[in-house]
Structure 1
Amino acid sequence: MSKSGLRVLIIGGYGTFGGRIARLLANEPGLTLVIAGRSAAKAAAFCAALAQRGGATVLSPLAFDRDGDLTAQLTALVATARPNVVIDATGPFQVYGDAPYRVVQACLELRLPYLDLADGADFVTGIAAFDAAARARGVALLSGASTFPALTAAAVRHLTQGWTAVTGVSIGVAPTPRAVVGANVLRAIASYAGKPVTLRRDGAWTRAHALTETRRRTIAPPGALPLRNTRFALVEVPDLQVMPRLWPDLRDIWVGAGTRPESIHRIMTALAWLVRLRLVPSLLPLAPLFHWGAGVFRWGEHRGGLVVEVTGRDPDDQPATRSWHLVAEGDDGPEIPALPAAALVRRWLAGHPPAPGARAATDLELADFDALFAGRAIRAGVRDAAEAAGPVFRQVIGAEAWSRQPAVWRALHGVEAGTPAVWRGRATVTRGRSLLARLAALLVGFPATGADVPVSVTLTRAPEGGERWMRDFGGRRFASRLDAGQGRNAHMVLERFGPAAYAQALVSEDGAVRLVLRRWTLLGLPLPLWLAPRSDATETAEPTPDGARFRFDVRISHPLGGLIVHYRGWLAPC
C-alpha cells in the first residue's frame, strides 16, 4: 500500500486506546480512519471533535457491535468500502470468554489484515494457531501492537544488536498516576492479580504469582530528569511467553508495573496476596471499585516511564548488561501504549505492510518510533553497565548525554583517580542575612558576600570512585563528597555536606546541565523534600578567545529562611 490511500477500521475507535490511535494518526495524508463503536452518535461526535483540530486524515463514523454478527458487519463494510486494516482496540482480551478470537476469525475469513492491542499473554501467543491459514490467505494477523510486546521487543532488539546471546530481560513500566485508566485495563489486572503466570526463570519454565513479587528500579534516560525510584510488581503480559521464543537463550524474564501513588500499589499487592493464599477466588468483582479509585487517587508527578534491561553476551562474547530508559511528561505518557499500532499503520501507509502470518506484533524497530516521539515530551536513551565506573558525573549522566556536553564541562568533571585537578577563576558571592543563612555558613563554611572573588576548586577522585571537591573562595574553604548514588538514589549524584546528603539528578537541556534535587537525608534518615534547602545549580560553557571556560551558577535557599548563599562565576584549568 502506498500513500495513494489506506483505509483503517478501528473497533472501539472512540474508546480510551482507539481514540489515542486515531489522534496519533489524525494528520496522515492518504489515510481514512473509520471510527467504529456500538454508539453511532458517540462515533460521530468523536469524529467531529477530532476534525475540528484540522489534519489531512479523513474520518468516518460507523456503528459496529463487537458482540454482534461480526462476519455480517464486516462483509457489509467490505461491500461498500473495504478496509485495508482492522484494529481491535477494545478488550480486556484476558476475559473474552469461550470465543476470544471472533474478530480474528472474521478478518481471516474475509482476508482483512488485523491488529490488536491485547496485553494478555495467552491471547497474544495463542494467535499463532491461525498462522498457517493466514499465510495461505496472504493476510497479516498481529496481536499485541502496544507497549507489550511491540515496543519492548523493539527495545530488546536495539539493545542486543550483534550479541551472541540474550540471557535475561527485566522490564518495568510506570504509568503516570494522573492517566485516565480505562475500565477494561483494570478488569484485566483484576482478572489475573494473585494468580499464577508462566515465565522463564533459571532456564526453566515455571509459575509465579502476579502482583505479589516486587522489585525497585529508577527509570533514568541519560541527561533527563529521572522518575522517582519506583516499586514494580509482577504483571501478566505477552513478553513473558513471547520473548523466550524470540531469543531462545533467554533464561530469565521479569516484567513489572509500578502503579503510583505507591500506597495504592501496596494495597493492590496485599489484595493479590488474598488471591494467592486462596482466601478469595478473584479480584475481578472489585474491578469497578479499582476504576473508581483510579479516578480519585491521582497524586504524584504527572510523568510516566519504561525501562528495559537485558543481560547476555556482547559481539565479543563477553558478559554484558544494557538498559533502555524512556520518560514521558504529562499527557504524552498515556499515548505510549497506542504508539506501536500507529507506527505499524504509518509503515503500512508508506508501502511496507507486515508479512502474512499470525503472530505477536514484534516486527517494529525503535527507529519506527522516532517520528512519533518527535514533538512530544518524551526522552529516551541507552545505559550500559560498563558505564558504572570512572568519574561520578559520567556515571550518572550516562555516556550518551556525556558525549553531548561541551569539552570544558567534560574536562572538569572527568577527573582521573589519584591525580587532583585544580581549576581557578573568579566569582560573585551573595550571602543571605537570616539566622538560618548565618548558621548554614558557619556549619558548611560558605563564603561571605563579595564581588570578583578569587576562587579555586580542587577535585580529587578516590580509588573506590567517589570524589572530594574542595572549594576556596578568597580563603574561605568548604568541601563536599560526591558519589554515584545507589539504590533509591540510583542515577543521581549523591553529595554529602557533613551529616546531610543530597541526591541530585543531572538534567541536560538548552546547552546547560542543571542539578535537580530529588531526595535528601539527615544523619542517614530520609526527610520530606519540602523541608530541604532549595538548590538551583546550573553549569555551562562560556566561549572565550582561547576556547571556552566553565561557568557555574549556584543558588541555595530555604523556604523558612530565604536565601542562604548564591555564588556564580567561572573556572579554567590550571
Structure 2
Amino acid sequence: MKQPRAPKILILGGTGVFGSKLAHMLLQDGWDFSVTSRSFSTAQRFTDAHGGTPVEWDRAQNPAPLFKDHQIVVDAAGPFQDYGEDRCRIALQAIDAGLHYLDLSDDGAFTAGITSLDDLARSKGVTALSGVSSVPALSSAAVSALARDLARIEHIEAAILPGNRAPRGRSVMQAILGQVGAPIRLWRDGAWQSARGWSGSKTYELAPGLSRRAALIGAPDLLLFPDYFGARTVEFRAGLELGWMQSSLALLSWFRARGLMPSVARFTPVFHRVATWFEGAGTDRGGMVVEIRGEIDGSPATRRWTLIAEAGDGPFIPAIPALIAINKLVAGQYTTGARPALAIFSLEEAEKALSRLKVTTRRDA
C-alpha cells in the first residue's frame, strides 16, 4: 500500500543487515525514510541503489540533530548488549524530541528497561516500543495465539535457526559471541536458575528432512515471558546450520565457563572472516520455532508454531515486526507510553505481513 503522506522515518543502522531489510520493505510500500551509517559514502551507496536519504552518524554521537523533519525513529544499529549503563539514551532523546521510537533490541535488560521512559513518553504523547523484532514481538504474538484455549502455560520455548548463507552482520555476531560461555538466567520450574550460554543443545525438526541443532542463549523472552504469560519455564535457543560451527561454539562455551579463555566477543573480526569463507556452504533456508506446553480441561496440551524461510528471505523476518508496528503507529492503534513489544500485533497480522516473503508457517496442536 502506498503511503505518500506518511511521516518520515529515521532508521539508525539502516545499512546494516536488518535495518537495510526494513528500508527495502518501506521503500516498496512508498514510505519516506533516512538511513544512517558510520560512513556517509556507505549510506549514500545504499540510497543511490535503493532509495532514501543518506545520513552519516556514529552511535557515540548525539542523535538529536538527526531528529529534525522525522516523526519516527527506528534503532536497528545494535549490538544492544553494548549500549552500557546509558542504554536508553537514544530512546530518551527521541521521545523528548516528540518522536515515536522503535528498536530491534534482542537484549532482555535493554528491552525491559524501556519502561523507565513510560511517564516521559505519555507526557510527550508518543509511543516507544523495544524489541520490535523476532523476539519478543513475533515470539510473543505466537505464544499469545497458541495459548488462546489453554487454562495455563507450563512451558514456553523458542528457537531461531538461520541458514548458513544468511548475511552475517558484525553487530549480531558480536552479540551472540558475547554470550558463549557466559551465565544466563533462566526461569525454570517457577524459579530463577543459572545456565551457560551456548549449552543445552537440542534438535528441532522444522519439516520432514529439515532439522537443526540449537543451544541456550539469552533473549528478552527469558526475562519478560515468565510474568507476562505466567509460565513456569521459559527457554530460548539459537542455532547455526553447519554442525562444526555449532560444536565449536559449544566447546568454546565450555572453556570460557571454566575461566580458560576470555569473552569470545573480542574475537568477532576473526569469526566474521572465517564465517565469510564458508558463506557458500549450507543453504539459504532458515526457520523459527515457538512451542508451549500447558493444560486444557485438566489435560496436558502442546501447541507449536513453525516458520520456514526460503530463498534467503530469513533476514527480512526480524524487520517484519517493525514494519507492522510502523503501520499501526501511523493508524493510531497504539496507546502512548514506553514498553516492551509484547503482543503488539496478532499472529494473524504477522502471518499476513510475512506473506510478502518466501515464508511458510504451520501451527500444530
**Do both proteins adopt the same fold according to a TM-score greater than 0.5, normalized to the shorter chain?**
yes
Q: Which residue among 275, 279, 282 is the counterpart of 1:294?
A: 275
Q: Which runs of 5+ in 2 are unaligned?
A: none
**Cα distance, 1:359 vs structure 2:** 1.5
Distance in 1, matches of 2:53 and 2:273, equals 32
**Cα distance, 1:9 vs structure 2:** 0.6
- 1:88 and 2:75 are equivalent in the alignment: yes
Distance in 2, matches of 1:38 and 1:353, equals 34
* Alignment-derived partner of residue 354 in structure 1: 334
Show the 5 A alignment for 1:295-374.
Answer: 295-298=276-279, 299-314=281-296, 316-349=297-330, 351-362=331-342, 363-374=344-355
* Alignment-derived partner of residue 177 in structure 2: 190
Q: Whose Rg is larger? A: 1
Amino acid across the alignment from 2:34: V
CA contact (8 A) 1:176 1:330 kept: no
**Cα distance, 1:98 vs structure 2:** 3.3
Distance in 1, matches of 2:209 and 2:87, equals 37
CA separation of 1:103 and 1:303: change in aligned 2, threshold 3 A:
same
* Alignment-derived partner of residue 98 in structure 1: 85
- 1:167 and 2:154 are equivalent in the alignment: yes
CA contact (8 A) 1:325 1:382 kept: yes
- 1:17 and 2:18 are equivalent in the alignment: yes
Show the 5 A alignment for 1:92-491.
Answer: 92-220=79-207, 226=208, 228-248=210-230, 250-298=231-279, 299-314=281-296, 316-349=297-330, 351-362=331-342, 363-384=344-365
Distance in 1, matches of 2:278 and 2:217, equals 21
The Cα offsets for residues 473-528 of structure 1, whole Å up to 9 and x where unpaired, read as xxxxxxxxxxxxxxxxxxxxxxxxxxxxxxxxxxxxxxxxxxxxxxxxxxxxxxxx
* Alignment-derived partner of residue 46 in structure 1: 46
CA contact (8 A) 2:18 2:315 kept: no
Q: Secondary structure at the match of 2:8?
A: strand
Distance in 2, matches of 1:326 and 1:116, equals 22
The Cα offsets for residues 157-216 of structure 1, whole Å up to 9 and x where unpaired, read as 111113221121011111011111101111111212111111210111111111022111
Distance in 2, matches of 1:136 and 1:21, equals 29
Amino acid across the alignment from 1:357: G
Distance in 2, matches of 1:84 and 1:317, equals 49
Amino acid across the alignment from 1:356: T
Q: Answer 1 or 2: higher relative contact order, Cα 8 Å, separation at least 6.
A: 2
Q: Secondary structure at the match of 2:210?
A: coil
**Cα distance, 1:120 vs structure 2:** 1.1
Q: Which moved more, 1:148-157 or 1:360-369?
A: 360-369
**Cα distance, 1:294 vs structure 2:** 1.8
Matched pairs, number: 361
CA contact (8 A) 1:199 1:206 kept: yes
Amino acid across the alignment from 1:4: R
CA separation of 1:111 and 1:245: change in aligned 2, threshold 3 A:
farther
Q: Structure 1: which 4+ aligned runs deviate by more than 3 Å?
A: none
Distance in 2, matches of 1:64 and 1:230, equals 38
CA contact (8 A) 1:227 1:304 kept: no
Higher helix share: 2
Q: Secondary structure at the match of 1:218?
A: strand
**Cα distance, 1:317 vs structure 2:** 4.5
Amino acid across the alignment from 1:294: A
Q: Which residue among 49, 60, 72 is the counterpart of 2:53?
A: 60
Amino acid across the alignment from 1:37: S
CA contact (8 A) 1:174 1:306 kept: yes
CA contact (8 A) 1:180 1:295 kept: no
CA contact (8 A) 1:163 1:317 kept: no
**Cα distance, 1:131 vs structure 2:** 1.9
CA separation of 1:337 and 1:115: change in aligned 2, threshold 3 A:
same
CA contact (8 A) 2:17 2:315 kept: no
Q: Secondary structure at the match of 1:280?
A: coil
Distance in 1, matches of 2:209 and 2:17, equals 25
CA contact (8 A) 1:17 1:338 kept: yes
**Cα distance, 1:69 vs structure 2:** 2.1
* Alignment-derived partner of residue 62 in structure 2: 69
TM-score (normalizing by structure 1):
0.61
CA contact (8 A) 1:146 1:341 kept: yes
**Cα distance, 1:320 vs structure 2:** 1.0
CA contact (8 A) 2:37 2:58 kept: yes
Higher strand share: 1
